[in-house]
Structure 1
Amino acid sequence: MTEHVWSYKSTSGHLAGGDLTGYKVEAIDGDIGKVDKHSDEVGDAYLVVDTGVWIFGKEVLLPASTVIQIDLEKKKIFVDRSKEQIKNAPEFHRDKHLGDAGYREELGAYYRPVTPAGGQPIV
């Protein structure tokens, strides 16, 4: 199951109903782009990030659980994945994938935290 992947962590600083459009997004190793679209829907929260020239102008879909901090003053969102992990995620096409349950399951499985027996999630 990957439902938890589509929810913001309680420690992220996310405020329901806030507009994150235009916020810069930072991976653990640098800038990846800006939020083009987002959803706050319970169990279906995500960010669509326009990567600009970083990966040839493509968009990426990040489940809300990847967000570790939102800085409202600086309009910046920090995620707990590397640029390489994000670049290697299943390819996203807005028109094809936003409403596709199969893609959502595939992406959720890719981003789900890996937990060793009795340990903390590894990201």
Structure 2
Amino acid sequence: MTADFWNFRDFRPVSAGDIDLSGFEVMGRDGSIGVVDKATNKVSASYLVVDTGDWRPHHQVILPAFTVERMDSEGRVVFVDRTRKEIEDAPDVTRAEMRAARFKDRLSGYYHGLYDTGL
């Protein structure tokens, strides 16, 4: 599978850039992942920063935009196509890496492997 992990999928009638996703709950295949702290909608650089809440207290994860399957803007929920375990196993990203945008290659490699194996 060839995917541009840093762009939202085109199937949604409402672009993610049209609404502020901050505060939306993030639901994975097996339950709650957390709450969106920040979302970007830049071409080839879109992602969600998610506070993981109780299952990983005081921790945030970055989800490439491509992981978003759909959104419920009325219910304020973002649905992603990954499990909590898959997200937990993703490489950690430091604040310095985020500022320098160096995290994209590492996360792309990780998520590319998940989509290539059909998980």
Q: TM-score, normalised by structure 2?
A: 0.87
For 2:31 and 2:100, locate their aligned partners in 1 and report how far apart those are by CA, in whole Å.
29
Structure 1, unmatched stretches of 5+, are 116-121
Q: Is the 8 A contact 1:50 1:60 kept in 2?
A: yes
For 2:82 and 2:14, locate their aligned partners in 1 and report how far apart those are by CA, in whole Å.
18
1:8-66 Cα shifts (integer Å, max 9, x gaps): 11124551232000000001000011000110001000000001121122000000000
Q: What percentage of residue pairs aligned between the two structures are identical? A: 37
For 1:103 and 1:60, locate their aligned partners in 2 and report how far apart those are by CA, in whole Å.
11
Secondary structure at 2:42 match in 1: coil
Question: What is residue 69 of structure 2 aligned with on the other side?
Answer: 68
For 1:49 and 1:21, locate their aligned partners in 2 and report how far apart those are by CA, in whole Å.
9
Structure 2, unmatched stretches of 5+, are none
Superposition RMSD in Å:
1.8
The 5 Å alignment of 1:89-100 reads 89-93=90-94, 95-100=95-100
The 5 Å alignment of 1:35-46 reads 35-46=36-47
For 1:101 and 1:91, locate their aligned partners in 2 and report how far apart those are by CA, in whole Å.
13
The amino acid that maps onto 1:78 is: F
The 5 Å alignment of 1:5-44 reads 5-15=5-15, 16-44=17-45
The amino acid that maps onto 2:38 is: K
Q: Is the 8 A contact 2:21 2:39 kept in 1?
A: yes
The amino acid that maps onto 1:23 is: F
